[in-house]
Structure 1
Amino acid sequence: MPFKTVWEENGVYQAFEGIPTQLERKKADNEVLQSPQFDTIKYWIVDSTDITEYNINKSQTIDAAAFNIGASKTNKNIYKLFITKNPKIIKNITIYSNLFEETKSPWVVKTFNNLKDARDFIYNNI
């Protein structure tokens, strides 16, 4: 499996590796969104540090954003934090983040270069 999900006290951490597909990305989202814990989490970390090749396109990113924007209506208090240095992934995160801003979704979407910075952000904001 190219991703793992770890439930934490106030949120969830997902790490991807290898070459994730769009289907696997959706599966990872569903694992979080369909969990009873989703309603109370305060953060969702998506760590893409170990992705070796990235083939998710703009259309698929828009699909993911729309799906998550819908979910933001049930839990409005999530920091969605992405970890990556990969320019292709950063480009898609920018598309994703812009859609959240355009639709006035309550989630805060941020990108970090490493897990420590993301965890520091969580520590200082929740």
Structure 2
Amino acid sequence: MPFRTIWENEGIKWEFYDFVTADEITEANEIFFSDPRSEIAKYQIVHTLETTDVEWNPLEIVDVSVNDVAASRSLQKLKMAYIANNKKVREKIEKYVEISRNLNSDWHFRGFETEEEARDWISDQ
């Protein structure tokens, strides 16, 4: 399992590393939504600086986007900060964000180069 889940006081952080598959992305999502802490979460941090590659095809990206948009109806105003420096990984995440926005997600998305920048954004009210 090339990711680590870290629950924080007001949200969750995933650290993805090495080669990541769509199944692992789905598993991370299931961990979040199956935990009662997700109901009060204000943010998600998706840290991918140690990710070397991601296998996530367009249909799988749509599936995750659709599920998250449905969840956004009850978890409104959640901030999803992604940290990526690998071009391929960033492009896949940006495709997910584009689809989610097109489906009128109530979440806020932003990409960053560092975790410090991401944390500044999520703490900004």
Q: Distance in 2 between matches of 1:78 and 1:45?
A: 11
The list of structure 1 runs, each at least 4 consecutive aligned residues, that deviate by more than 6 angstroms after superposition, is none
Q: Distance in 1 between matches of 2:35 and 2:96?
A: 22
Tell whether 2:14 aligns with 1:14.
Answer: yes
Q: What per-residue deviation string (whole Å, max 9, x for no partner) do you get for residues 54-112 of structure 1?
A: 22222221111111111111211200111101111221222211222222211001111
Any unmatched runs of 5+ in structure 1? none
Residue 33 (structure 1) aligns with: 33
Q: Distance in 1 between matches of 2:88 and 2:63?
A: 17
- When the two chains are superposed, the root-mean-square deviation of aligned CA atoms in Å is 1.2
Residue 47 (structure 2) aligns with: 47
SS at match of 2:105: coil
Any unmatched runs of 5+ in structure 2? none
| Higher strand content, 1 or 2 | 2
Matches within 5 A, 1:51-66: 51-66=51-66
Q: Distance in 2 between matches of 1:81 and 1:2?
A: 19
Quote the sequence identity (%).
Answer: 26
Conserved in 1, the CA contact under 8 Å of 2:81 and 2:122?
no
Identify the range of structure 1 (14-23 vs 49-58) with the bigger mean alpha-carbon deviation: 49-58
Aligned length: 125
TM-score w.r.t. structure 2 length?
0.93
Residue 3 (structure 1) aligns with: 3
